[in-house]
Amino acid sequence: MYFDGDADLTTPERSGSAVADTMGMTHMLGGGSPRLARLGSRYPLLRPGQVVLFGFDPAELDTGEWTELVSRHLYAAPAPAVRADPAGEARRARAYLDRRCDSYLVHFDVDVLHTGLFPLANFPHFAGLTLDQVAAGLNEFTGGEKFGGLVVTEVNPDHDPSGQLLRTLAASVTRALAPD
């Protein structure tokens, strides 16, 4: 469950920034640099039907990324769709993985949050989700029988000197992980 402000579907050849993080999904699906794509214990690490892209900003994908997303038939719930119905989109996304996997991992990049509301990530996203919308997703994804683990990434404490954002985030994650 790729819960992220980005789709991370660029390649070393196409990327303007050369930031490896922007190519993570490409490499997990077996594309991009063969040396990176073959780092894991199997190749490819993931098949397209094992991936959900949830909460990315569709305005930030370039033509190459859209081509990748569509030609691989990836399940995609972009931020505007999530904003319109956070719980419903999360339920449908989880159902998609539930049908295809024995267990799934939730990758939660805090850059899925709107930078103006929650400036904790390294890379800004000014069309991101609210904390409530993100919580709806986390609650759904961590509540499933097939939920296998949660990775929280891109938290930059330097952006939060008082620690208030971190406390708020930790409370939200804790609520999601608590048994009902």
Cβ 6 to Mn ion, closest distance in Å? 4
Cβ 178 to Mn ion, closest distance in Å? 26
Cβ 179 to Mn ion, closest distance in Å? 29
By CB under 5 A, is residue 6 in contact with Mn ion?
Answer: yes
Identity of the residue, 68 or 111, whose beta carbon is nearer to Mn ion in the bound complex: 111
By CB under 5 A, is residue 89 in contact with Mn ion?
Answer: no
Q: Which of 4, 57, 68, 89 is close enough to bind Mn ion by CB under 5 A?
A: 4
H helical segments located in 118-163: 131-143
Residue 157 in tokens: 């404490």
Interacting residues of 119 by C-beta distance below 8 A, sequence separation 6+: 159, 160, 165
Which residues in 50-60 are b (16+ Cβ under 10 Å) and which e? bbbbbbbbeeb
Cβ 118 to Mn ion, closest distance in Å? 13
Q: Which of 3, 5, 28, 176 is close enough to bind Mn ion by CB under 5 A?
A: 5
H helical segments located in 29-154: 34-37, 63-71, 79-84, 86-100, 131-143
Positions 106 through 145 that interact with Mn ion (CB under 5 A):
109, 111
Applying CB under 5 A, the span of 31-39, 103-111, 137-145, 167-175 interacting with Mn ion comes to: 103-111
Please give the helix or strand (H or E) that residue 76 lies within, else none: strand 75-77
Residue 102 in tokens: 């024995």
Identity of the residue, 146 or 150, whose beta carbon is nearer to Mn ion in the bound complex: 150
